[in-house]
Structure formats: structure tokens, C-alpha cells
Amino acid sequence: MRFVVKLGGAALEDKKILHACGKAIADLVADGNQVAVVHGGGVQLTRTLAQMGKKSEFISGLRITDAETRDAALMVLAGRVNKSLVASIGTHGQSAVGLSGGDGHVFRARKKKTNPDLGFVGEIAAMDPKWLEAIWAMGAVPVISSIALGFDGEYYNINADEMAAACAIGAKADTLVFLTDVPGVKGADGNVMRWLTLAQIPAMEQAQVVSGGMLPKLNACRDALTHGVKRVRILPAEAASLLPDLVSTRVNDGTEVMVA
């Protein structure tokens, strides 16, 4: 099977959780699966920007990104965060290759049209899986930071959830898994929903049951499921060890997002 796994937040910040994620990814490959990892690094970027004296602002879960913020994102996401994840996977004997979305034109971006303008925030316009296929053919794991190159020659900050969905669609993945800081999608009663259909999402958004960073995540789930990805799971990063079990057993942690 072909998996795309998205990591962000505490999974990249907590060494113990990062170690567990690296092992789970290595185990998936050892079981005969092809795995691509897409990662964000918003917590790390926010901290770096604060050290630079810049305040981070968000609209609907998306970071307002001026040129200086974009350059910091390149440094943090495509640099330190990407290489720490490559190292974590490698610790378990599984080779990994770190990329930004701009390398090899794996992803091409265009500026996201929003009101108000978000600056250098992009959306994926095209995806070419040939470099991922080459890395998989060598038995390695591609690890992709959520930065992509625009047709205008500018780098754009991409929401990592959106990039993960685009990666899963373009690479014809069977399964997309979001490893997150939260236990899953919570309903109006505050309890984690084990199953969530696409038809339920608009009403939850309207009632603001889901908001902030969960909005782009659910939009990414919708895009993936309506463009050929068979299975989408939102799983707490602390339960990363369950990743290999998704292939053959019932996993109760997190939220399974389904077409119907």
C-alpha cells in the first residue's frame, strides 16, 4: 500500500513522540508499504519569528506571510525541521531523503487568493510524483517540507495539511494519515468523533464546532477523499505506533473521515 503521513506540532517538538513517529514510519516500510512524509513546523516557525521580533498572525488557520516570514519558513521548515525528521526515521535503520516542495518541481504553487491578502501563502497548482517514485524505488522515504516554488520563481508557504492532500492525490496514495496534537475531531458534545462523513462537515463549520487549524485539515480530508484517496485518518501523534495497524486491524484512536 502507499501511504502519505503528515506530521506537525508536537510530533516535531517532542523528542519522544518524534522518535515514535520515526519508528512507526520505518515499520510501515518494513511491512512492504511505500511511505511519503509531509511535514509542517508551525510551532518552530512561530518561535523563530518571535526571536526575530515578529508577531505571528493567522486567518482561518493560515499564517499571514510577508517576505521576511517566508524566508524564515524556508530556513526553519526546509532546514532544521526537515533534517531532524530525516534523522529520526534514519535512527530506526530506514533511509529517508529530505526535500522541500520546490526541489525537483515536485510541487508547483500559485499565490492563494484571499481577502485579506495573506502574502506569500500559496496553494498547490501541480504535483509531479516522479522524484517520489525514484526515492521509493531505492527503498527510501521522501520527507517533504511544506514549501513550494511558484511559477513566478517565488517560494510560497503552503499549509502542510493541504500539501499532504495534494501529495496523496498526485502520488495516488491509498491512505492519508494526519498525525496531530489533538485526539481527533470533536463534536458539539466535546467528545472525539470516531467516524465523520464529508456531509457532516459544513454544518460543523457553520456552527463553529470546528475552527482554526482544523478547518484546513478537514478541507484537505475532503480534497483527498473526492480525488481518489481511499482512506483518510486523523490520528493523535501520541498514538503513532498504531500506524502499521491501520493496514489490517481496527484502530479506535482518532477520527476516520469518510465520503459517506
Binding site, residues? 41-42, 63, 157
- Coil vs helix vs strand at 210: coil
The partner residues of 7 in beta bridges, in order of sequence, read 39, 179
Which run of H or E residues covers position 85?
Answer: helix 82-90
CB 231 within 8 A of CB 175: yes
Q: Which residues are annotated as a binding site for substrate?
A: 41-42, 63, 157
Which residue in this structure is represented by grid cell 492532500?
Answer: 165
Single-letter residue type at 229: V
Q: At what angle do helices 214-225 and 160-170 cross, to 10 degrees?
A: 10
Which run of H or E residues covers position 256?
Answer: strand 255-258
CA 216 to chain centre: 11
Alpha-carbon gap, residue 97 to 3, rounded angstroms: 16
CB 89 within 8 A of CB 22: yes
